[in-house]
C-alpha cells in the first residue's frame, strides 16, 4: 500500500474528485481527514470507516482562518501527524470580466486561492516534520483559455504559479508541492450545472462534444493522478494535466 502510515487532509471531499481521492488514499493505507462546507463529506468519512479505513470529518468554509485551524487541530488530535495536504475545495462561478460582479470575483478567490493559502500555512509546520507533500487542485483552465470562465481561470492560474513558488520556498525543508490540472470531470457539481440549462440533455451532449476524447474524465481518474503526485518523490513544482487531450 503506497500510503501506509501516512495521514492526509483533503478539502472539498464530499463529492467528486475530493471524495474519490479520499477513498483511494484510504485504500492505499492513509488515515484521512475530510472536509466540506456542508455535511456532505461526513458520508465520505463514514464510507471509509465502513470499508475498514480510518477517517474523520471536519465541516467548515476553507476561506475562513478558523476552519484551517480546526482541520489541522482535529487531524493532529486524531492521527498525531500530517503527511499530505490536498487543497481540492473550489467553486466555479461562470462569467467574463465585464459581467462578473465584484462579489463573485472575490468569493471565487476567497475559496479557490485564499483557502489554499490558509490551509497550506497552518499545515506547513507539521509537513516540515514529516517531509510531506502539498497538492493544489487547479484546472486545465490554468493552461488554456475558454469562454465564460474568467474568474475561475484566474484563480486556478494563481494556484499554478503558487505551486512553483511554494516548491521553491520549501524544497530545503523536504516538502514537495505539486499541482493537478483536471479537465471537465463527471462530478455531481457538473451534473448540477448541466441540469440548470433549458435542455440538459443537449447541454451534456455539447459539453462532451468539446472533449477531444469525446467523454468526461472520472473522479477516480483524477484521484489516481493525485495519488501519483502524492508519491512521486522526485517531483516538485510540477503540474499534471489530466485533460483528455485538451491541451494537445
**Residues involved in catalysis:** 152
The three-class DSSP label of residue 149 is strand
Q: Which residues contact 28 (CB under 8 A, 6 or more apart)?
A: 1, 2, 3, 4, 227
**In sequence order, what are the beta bridge partners of 217?**
185
CB 97 within 8 A of CB 149: no
Distance, in Å, from the CA atom of 43 to the CA atom of 20, rounded to the nearest integer, reads 12
C-alpha cell at 200: 440538459
Distance, in Å, from the CA atom of 157 to the CA atom of 163, rounded to the nearest integer, reads 10
Distance, in Å, from the CA atom of 156 to the CA atom of 141, rounded to the nearest integer, reads 7
Amino acid at each position: 500500500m503506497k500510503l501506509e502510515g501516512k495521514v492526509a487532509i483533503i478539502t472539498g471531499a464530499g463529492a467528486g474528485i475530493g471524495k474519490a481521492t479520499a477513498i483511494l488514499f484510504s485504500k492505499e493505507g492513509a488515515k484521512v481527514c475530510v472536509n466540506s462546507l456542508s455535511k456532505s463529506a461526513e458520508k465520505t468519512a463514514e464510507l471509509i470507516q465502513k470499508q475498514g479505513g480510518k477517517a474523520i470529518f471536519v465541516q467548515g468554509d476553507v476561506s475562513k482562518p478558523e476552519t484551517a485551524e480546526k482541520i489541522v487541530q482535529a487531524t493532529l488530535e486524531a492521527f498525531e501527524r500530517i503527511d499530505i495536504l490536498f487543497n481540492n475545495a473550489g467553486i466555479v462561478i461562470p462569467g467574463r470580466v465585464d459581467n462578473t460582479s465584484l462579489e463573485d470575483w472575490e468569493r471565487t478567490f476567497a475559496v479557490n486561492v485564499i483557502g489554499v493559502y490558509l490551509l497550506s500555512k497552518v499545515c506547513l509546520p507539521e509537513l516540515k516534520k514529516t517531509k510531506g507533500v502539498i497538492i493544489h487542485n487547479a484546472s486545465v483552465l490554468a493552461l488554456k483559455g475558454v469562454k465564460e470562465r474568467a474568474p475561475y481561470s484566474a484563480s486556478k492560474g494563481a494556484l499554478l504559479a503558487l505551486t512553483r513558488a511554494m516548491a521553491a520556498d520549501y524544497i530545503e525543508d523536504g516538502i514537495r508541492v505539486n499541482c493537478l490540472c483536471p479537465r471537465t470531470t463527471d462530478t455531481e457539481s457538473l451534473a448540477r450545472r448541466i441540469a440548470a440549462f433549458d435542455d440538459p440533455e443537449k447541454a451534456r451532449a455539447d459539453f462532451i462534444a468539446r472533449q477531444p476524447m469525446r467523454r468526461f474524465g472520472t473522479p477516480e481518474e483524477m484521484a489516481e493522478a493525485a495519488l501519483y503526485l502524492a508519491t512521486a518523490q522526485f517531483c516538485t513544482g510540477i503540474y499534471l494535466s489530466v485533460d483528455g487531450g485538451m491541451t494537445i
